[in-house]
Amino acid sequence: MEGFNGWLYESFNHDFAIRRFCSARVELEQGELGDAMNNDIEPFCPDDEISTPHLAASEVDDFVDSFINMDYDVDDDGDGDGDDKDDRNSKKQQNFHHFHDKIEAFSIVNDDSLMIEGDELEMSSSCEDLGANEMVPSIEEASHGVDQGLHLVHLLLACAEAVGCRDIHLATSMLSQIGASATPLGDSLQRVSYCFATGLKSRLSLLQNVNGNGNIANCAIDVPMIAREEKMEAFQLLYQTTPYIAFGFMAANEAICQAAQGKGSLHIIDLGMKHTLQWPSLIRALASRPEGPPTLRITALTSDEDLVELEASMKSLVEDASSLGIAMELHMISEPVTPSLLTRENLNLREGESLYINSVMHLHKYVKESRGSLKAILQAIKKLGPALLTMVEQDANHNGPFFLGRFLESLHYYSAIFDSLEASLPRHSPQRMKIERLHFSEEIRNIVAYEGTDRMERHERADQWRRQLGRAGFQVMGLKCLSQARMMLSVYGCDGYTLGSEKGCLLLGWKGRPLMLASAWQLHNASSAY
């Protein structure tokens, strides 16, 4: 391992054009870039004199080690206190994120380099000319004392860099090397590497269709189409075999129940509804209220392709609610969710109803290159005057403006996901293969391969959501369901899942690495509901 870390440290000090930046300005540039992202201003690239960055060996070691030894712990008491182990783990996480910031800085490039921003492409010289072919030792070299799994990680990073340089020849060669080790039937690292290699291959296909104006042309990628039924099956399997989806449903439902205490008529607007998996547990909870069950309306904002299956499951849901003494109405609106749709008239809001907006892994789809799209949606929601907005999202920074940094962050995130699947399901489990191939692999490919409007999986971290929702006029309402979440996790019989609370948001992670966040939001000028 020591020899491997030494090689890695040296490799990251090559004077590659895509890694050059002005050391005197990088802190200022990163601050201005953050402000630009939050104020709908396009980021810019420094063009002053440049210097080669210096990465401490300890930072590199922590980053490399994080892929194999995911042993962080988090405070699950919700009080923010932690012991010495928490402090050590926090330090390791800080080192990883500092390393990630360095990679982002590498991507702030001068005018000789390639940076893909939206659909725009600037040309660069060959990565091979810059020495990128020296980054990764051969398989033979790797076999002499260097862990093969970590070698696979660095092949992926080097391949991503070659793709970023638009060096198709070098990237293709590296993909061939990755293919010798990555497999959808291997261990967790081999499986996640296979998914990322597929994403890189798709991105290469897109880059080969750059038009004369430097824009990536809209073209079909040679990837088998996945039917909606298959995607839904994979989602249901994920819901049944892991806590990731059930955690979000439980937290959102508990927040709605607490906010609805004493309310006799409830109306829930579900953004992007594709199924009814969330609602049976809410109906049971409402039916058992001491003050008696309320009347309930759920309006599903959905797409045309989901209509037929939703109609059948909604009918069954209404019947179940009736058997529990709840008068329930279900309505569907099959139009794209836009600010013009989110009006009292279009949603048929009624006097005397308590309104709740529910979004489970959907709001991130409105985060575009500029923040204007999400801002307009949030402002429209605010005008409706909801009692509560419940939001469940992936807690990850997959919306960085630069490809290499985004690739690094997503590789770390999905490595934790696949590691949790390794601990829960056998390698040859058909359920696990469907979850990985039909659900997570599709997310990874969208993050890695696409830009512009085609890139929909724009996940962000809790602090970024707090800023965006705060600016739109919402304040977080602390979730009070940590004990329920802990009890739910015990059902899965796996010790790796961890819970934490951060400034009112509830976080579910794997060995301390946050993966999912659940939160509830109230209008700033509203009185506390609970």
> What number is the average pLDDT over the span 181-187?
93
CB 43 within 8 A of CB 115: no
At residue 18, does pLDDT exceed 80? no
The answer to the question of residue 63 being in a domain is: no
**Are 488 and 411 found together in one domain?**
no
Domain ends where: 440, 458, 476? 458
The answer to the question of residue 86 being in a domain is: no
The answer to the question of residue 283 being in a domain is: yes
**Are 449 and 463 found together in one domain?**
no
The answer to the question of residue 275 being in a domain is: yes
Residue span of the structural domain in which 184 resides: 146-209+400-458
**Are 388 and 404 found together in one domain?**
no
> 138-155: buried (b, 16+ CB within 10 Å) or exposed (e) per residue?
eeeebeeebeebbbbbbb
Residue 222 is predicted with a pLDDT of: 54
Tell me the pLDDT tens digit for each residue of 21-63: 223 223 333 443 444 444 443 332 222 222 223 334 444 455 5
**Are 412 and 291 found together in one domain?**
no
**Are 320 and 425 found together in one domain?**
no
Under DSSP, the state recorded for 380 is H
- Tokens describing residue 92: 């390791």
**Are 465 and 452 found together in one domain?**
no
Tell me the pLDDT tens digit for each residue of 340-366: 999 999 999 999 999 999 999 999 999
**Are 196 and 286 found together in one domain?**
no
Domain ends where: 443, 458, 473? 458
CB 230 within 8 A of CB 475: no
pLDDT greater at residue 115 or residue 506: 506
The answer to the question of residue 294 being in a domain is: yes
The answer to the question of residue 297 being in a domain is: yes
**Are 186 and 204 found together in one domain?**
yes
Q: What percent of the chain has pLDDT over 70?
A: 68
Tell me the pLDDT tens digit for each residue of 486-501: 999 999 888 899 999 9
**Are 172 and 156 found together in one domain?**
yes
Tell me the pLDDT tens digit for each residue of 286-344: 999 999 999 999 999 998 777 777 888 889 999 999 999 999 999 999 988 999 999 99
Query: Which amino acid does the sequence have at 194?
Result: Y
User: What whole-number distance in Å separates Cα of residue 344 and Cα of residue 153?
Assistant: 51
Least trusted range by pLDDT, from 183-197, 207-221, 384-398: 207-221
Domain count, the chain: 2
At residue 422, does pLDDT exceed 60? yes
pLDDT greater at residue 55 or residue 450: 450
**Are 258 and 316 found together in one domain?**
yes
**Are 421 and 278 found together in one domain?**
no
The answer to the question of residue 28 being in a domain is: no
Q: pTM above the 0.75 mark?
A: yes
337 φ, ψ (degrees, to nearest 5):
-75, 110
The answer to the question of residue 60 being in a domain is: no
CATH classification of the domain holding 288: 3.40.50.150
Domain ends where: 408, 435, 458? 458
**Are 285 and 391 found together in one domain?**
yes
